[in-house]
Amino acid sequence: MIMSASGFPSLALGCFLLALVVAPHVVHGLSRSLTQGGGAVAPSASAAGLCASEITIHGYQCQEFDAVTKDGYILSVQRIPEGRAGGGSTNKQPVFVQHGVLADGSAWLVNLPEQSLPLILADNGFDVWIANSRGTQFSRRHTSLSPSNPKFWDWSWDELAAFDLPAVFDLIHEKTGKKVHYVGHSLGTTIALASLSEGKLVDKLQSVALLSPVAYLTHITTALGIIAARSFLGELVADFLEALCARPGLDCYDFLTAFSGPNCCLNVSTVDLFLKNYPQSTSMKNLVHLSQTVRDGGLAKYNYEIADFNMEHYGDARPPVYNLSNIPHNVSMFLSYGGQDALADPKDVQLLLDSLKLHDVGKLTVQFVKDYAHMDFLMGLNAKDIVYSQVLSFFKNQH
């Protein structure tokens, strides 16, 4: 298994630990807000939104939208309607870009414009929509709940699949009248697979590109101890890691490696930029749900761990499974995974491919990038040439 430089075991909950490493106060703030109803982190820095801080500064047009979910969350969505050189905004195919856990839409934009997927898509004639999941800095809003209310944080990725994705699909479809291409990274792939397996999204979907797809987390086993220990995880690990990572820079970079795999192709300055915005807050329930995915070896809904509670929520003592074989076999899919990825381990991606084996011939395109780890797909310096070029031609070939 992967170990960090200090010998501390790495984990599927590595993302959680990274959170503690990089910004212990965020998770403390979060757990406080979960357990005692206080201390949610206020929207930070560029309150003007992602358009102003990350997109228009590079010379692109950008519009801010809100998507309201059926359960009342108000999600910030950015639209880049045309490329830097202009070219008009009519009759373009929309692409929905979805980040992973503990990140937000800015995670796609840390590299130079000509290396960043959303901007590359815009420059290649697509109408680009960047989503920000509930709880992240620009989507910490709700029609009736305040972020300081623990109820605000009562959700896991089940709700991202059931409510966040459909809300953004609806918004894009309403504004463009077109079917939507989707591209997700990491948890952004998990929630799309879950949603599709329940027959959602399909009527508004043109095609799906999954980068570093996470459906099974079976091959990350050292998380188990952490999961068992999760009730005291906060205190125990935060102190340890605060010491480990008191200084920004290299230690944190090493930890990024420990949890995501040995990324081949990152720009160290870019990683520093990324870590400034990372982690974004998420709910404890979401992280627990992820840890259950590791423990239970398949994709299922959140487990309340007590049969009666599950019975109450699901009418069954066990949480329902997301059956990936139920994803409509004619959905056009592109899937790209890396040989060095510690989160989307190649063996786990193989399990995912097995569950898609009845997919229509010609509707599933798979790319394997031997040297890539988890973060290379998001911000590798050569991702443009190796992966995004494939995503572009995949989208361009859909009708």
Ligand X SMILES: *[C@@H]1O[C@H](CO)[C@@H](O)[C@H](O)[C@H]1NC(C)=O
**Which residues of the shown chain bind ligand X in the complex (CB under 6 A)?**
112, 267, 269-270, 321, 323, 325-326, 328, 330, 381
Smallest distance from the beta carbon of 43 to ligand X, in angstroms?
24
Least distance in angstroms from the C-beta of 145 to ligand X: 34
Smallest gap from Cβ 147 to ligand X, in A, equals 31
Q: What angle do CA 293, 295, 300 make, to 5 degrees?
A: 35
- Nearest-approach distance from CB 182 to ligand X, in angstroms: 14
Query: What would the two tokens of residue 6 be?
Result: 């200090």
| 241 versus 266: smaller Cβ distance to ligand X | 266
A 10 A CB-CB count for 15 gives: 23
Phi-psi region of 362 (alpha: psi -120 to 50; beta: other; left: phi over 0): left
Buried b (16+ CB within 10 A) or exposed e, 280-298: bbbbbbbbbbbbbbbbeeb
Q: What is the DSSP letter of 53?
A: I
Cβ proximity to ligand X, 36 vs 326, nearer residue: 326
The least CB distance from residue 237 to ligand X, in Å, is 31
Which residues have a catalytic role annotated?
Answer: 186, 341, 374
Backbone conformation region of residue 321, classed left if phi is above 0, alpha if psi is from -120 to 50, else beta: beta
| CA–CA distance, 66 with 53 (Å, rounded to integer) | 17
Residue number with CB closer to ligand X (47 or 321): 321
Closest to ligand X by CB, 270 vs 310, is 270
- Cβ proximity to ligand X: between 280 and 332 the closer is 332
Scanning the structure block, which residue is given the tokens 């590359």? 120
Rounded CA separation 150/31 (Å): 9
Indicate the residue among 176 and 206 with the shorter CB distance to ligand X. 206
Give the length of the chain.
399
H helix or E strand, kind and range, residue 293: helix 284-296
Distance, in Å, from the CA atom of 1 to the CA atom of 367, rounded to the nearest integer, reads: 25
Based on CB atoms, which residue is closest to ligand X, 124 or 267?
267
d(CA 212, CA 377): 7
Place of tokens 């003007």: 48
Report, in Å, the least distance between residue 398 CB and ligand X: 9
Yes or no: say if 69 and 160 are a contact pair by the CB < 8 Å rule.
no
Torsion, Cα 293 295 300 305, to 10 degrees, reads -120
Quote the least distance from Cβ 358 to ligand X, whole Å: 8
How many helices (H) and strands (E) would you count in the chain? 17, 8
